[in-house]
Homo-oligomer: A and B are copies of this chain.
Amino acid sequence: MAHKVVIVGAGFGGLSAAKALAGQKNLDVTIIDKRNHHLFQPLLYQVATAALSPADIATPIRAELTDKKNIQVLMAQVDGVNLKERTVSAGGEKHGYDYLILACGSSHSYFGHDEWETFAPGLKTLEQATEIRRRILLSFELAEKEKNPEKRKALMSFAIIGAGPTGVELAGSIAEIARVTFKKDFRNIDTLQSEVYLVEAGPRILSSFEEKLSKLAHTDLTNMGVNILCGAKVTAVDSEGLSFGDKKLASKTIIWAAGVAPSSLGTKLGVEVDRGGRVIVRSDWSLPTHKEVFIIGDMSSFTENGRPLPALAPVALQGGRFVARQILRDLNNKPREHFKYLDKGQMATIGRKKAILQFGSWKSSGFVAWIAWLLVHIYYLIGFKNKFFVLVSWSWSYLTFKKGARLIINKEWRD
């Protein structure tokens, strides 16, 4: 009889595991996700800043796996896992498994201030990206009509909290919208007067990069008109703006790019987790107490050389492929292997023709790094169509200085 494999989550980790298990006749695979699409999160900030359409960076999970006859796709919310019973509860039903791969990713952490989310959405889903796009574009529209100079200033002030790659990319893109895309579009406001604030609690931006690159990015962003506030720990966020200690910053558009919290499914398992709530796994990504359960990607705490692996797409991708191989090894009575992360380095784009990239001791910045960034992202995008459309969208934006998806879509479909 076929062995049952249940995969929860169709992000980089889950989808790569599923693909690696395709065509195995003795395996009956079910992949469960609450959404119908796999999302290429590294480009989500481009949807939030009106450069790409949601469909450009998403692909239907079903379409990706249509020819893989041993794989079934289920769109459902997973409510819990029973490790003893070996079942997953999803959409009111229990799904038994012989092997379980949990790859549910992460969402935002507001450090105990969940009430801030209303005023400062995070950027993890297409819904959040279109909401952020709506807020950014709408702010300029409201500023154009606003007569009160103080209110107008707050509408033309954009604050991004957290200066990791996403925060930096958002700040750069919003500065570009204000200074380039919108330059001639308004009559009552001068969009060059817009202010973009990048607010970081730590001492420098892009702290996961080497200091030299981080400084380069700092200079580039400053030249693009971004105000970088380091050592600024946010203490309050509301509809009028944000505070750090005594200082207040009036801003009607705030975006949260700071804390990351792993999926709560991990902490609910009742197994050991690290300080951040990520599940501690063995050298084959399995639970120390259950070798048939693998936890991969952002929700997993995998220690290599004494340090946990970062929450990056390559870690999830490699983890997914690795655990699929371990399942096949089990079935062939071969011993499990130890996972070894192949470091793909890291990169962040800052703006037109500007990026930084770090690969081991090799560093690059400026135009070369920017081209590398473009190529790597195109290469990893799933599907010919997405690759092609994103490439063409980027070429068009590069040549025309325009944004291709400048839409304010209301939340309510009724007029």
A-side residues, CB < 8 A to B, are: 35-37, 53-56, 58, 60, 62-63, 66-67, 72-76, 91, 93, 107, 117, 121, 125-128, 130-131, 137-138, 141, 144-145, 184-188, 385, 388-389, 392-393, 396, 400, 402, 404-415
Q: Is the CB of A35 within 8 A of B408?
A: yes
Known: A36-B408, A402-B63, A413-B125. A145 touches B76 (CB 8 A): yes
For the complex formed, measure the closest distance between the CB of A188 and the CB atoms of chain B, giving whole angstroms: 8
For A53, what are the chain B residues with a Cβ–Cβ distance below 8 Å? 53-56, 405
**What is the chain B residue whose CB lies nearest that of A141?**
B75
Of B127, B141, B400, B406, the contact of A412 (CB 8 Å cutoff): B127
Q: What is the bound-complex CA distance between A161 and B130, given in angstroms?
A: 30
Residues of the B chain whose Cβ atoms lie less than 8 Å from the Cβ of A402 = 63, 385
How many angstroms between the C-alpha atoms of A54 and B406 in the bound complex?
Answer: 10
**What's the Cα separation between A198 and B117 when bound, in Å?**
44
Which are the 5 A-B pairs with shortest beta-carbon distances? A55-B405, A131-B413, A53-B53, A127-B413, A60-B406
Min CB gap A353→B, angstroms = 21
- Contacts A37-B408, A385-B396, A388-B392 known; 20 new A-B pairs at CB < 8 A: A36-B406, A36-B408, A37-B407, A53-B56, A54-B405, A55-B405, A58-B407, A60-B185, A62-B186, A66-B185, A72-B187, A73-B187, A74-B144, A74-B145, A75-B144, A75-B408, A107-B415, A127-B409, A131-B413, A389-B393
Residues of B contacting A67 in the complex (Cβ-Cβ under 8 angstroms): 184
Chain B residues, Cβ within 8 Å of A35:
408
User: A145 to B93, alpha carbons, bound, how many Å?
Assistant: 10
In the complex, the chain B residue whose C-beta lies closest to that of A127 is B413
Interface contact B415-A55, CB-CB below 8 Å: no
What residue in chain B is nearest A396 (Cβ atoms)?
B385
Which residues of chain B come closer than 8 Å to A63, judged between CB atoms?
185, 402, 406
* Chain B residues positioned under 8 Å from A36 (CB to CB): 137-138, 141, 406-408
